[in-house]
Amino acid sequence: MTRVLLEATDRQIVELLAVDGRMSYTDLGKATGLSTSAVHQRVKRLEQRGLITGYGASVDHDAIGLPLTAFISITPIDPSAPDDYPERVRHISEIESCWSVAGEESYILKVRVATPADLEDLLARIRAAASVSSRTTVVLSTPYENRPVT
């Protein structure tokens, strides 16, 4: 992906929406000194250019019964096997994110589950589905996450 340079106003709009994706065009206009219609046009253009890829809710995972977060590093058991591990585990709903990484592991998965027993079960399902070995890091606390672009 090519790096895109943004003019200051577009960057400000992106930063504001990264903090509050539900910010109204009127409030964006007040913050940037633009009219509501000018902000609307800029946001649409940023979306069309692929710089704004979506809007989402921040979820309290503890409140919805998924307090345990872990990072699972996976390494193929057979290095000559096709590198299709993301597809092999895509159906596993507890996997929130999958990153291809450099280093000893091939991928790192971010998962959320309710209990340590659920994590143990999930690890068995991932190993079976993808034919990988794994190394797991359990998150004790999250001082911050998903910091907005600045």
Q: Does the pTM exceed 0.85? A: no
Instruction: Indicate whether 22 and 91 sit together in one domain.
Output: no
Does residue 37 lie in a domain region? yes
What is the predicted pLDDT for the residue at 50? 93
Q: Which residue, chain included where needed, has tokens 């890091």? A: 137
Q: Is 145 left (phi over 0), alpha (psi -120 to 50) or beta?
A: beta
Residues 121 and 68 in one domain: yes
Cα 106 to Cα 35: distance, rounded to the nearest angstrom: 48
* Residue 2 falls inside a structural domain: no
**Distance in angstroms (rounded) separating the CA atoms of residues 37 and 23:** 14
Is residue 149 assigned to a domain? no
Q: 71-89, pLDDT tens digit by residue?
A: 999 999 998 999 999 999 9
CATH at 70:
3.30.70.920
Q: Are 43 and 105 contained in the same domain?
A: no
**pLDDT tens string 30-60:** 999 999 999 999 999 999 999 999 998 889 9
Q: Clarify whether residues 110 and 65 are in a common domain.
A: yes
- What CATH number did the domain enclosing 33 receive? 1.10.10.10
75 and 37 inside one domain: no
Give the pLDDT confidence of 93-129 residue by residue, as tens digits. Answer: 999 999 999 999 999 999 999 999 999 999 999 999 9
**Domain contains 143:** no
Q: What is the DSSP letter of 3?
A: -
Residues comprising the chain, all counted: 150
Q: Range of 34's domain?
A: 8-49
| Cβ–Cβ < 8 Å for 107, 74 | yes
Over the chain, what is the mean pLDDT?
A: 94
> Phi/psi of residue 60, each to 5°?
-85, 100
Do residues 69 and 122 share a domain?
yes
In a domain, 107, yes or no: yes
Tokens 């999250």: give the residue.
142
What is the three-class DSSP state of 144?
coil
> Predicted confidence band at 148 (pLDDT cuts at 50, 70, 90)?
confident
Which ranges of the chain would DSSP assign to H, the alpha helix? 8-19, 25-32, 36-48, 85-89, 116-130
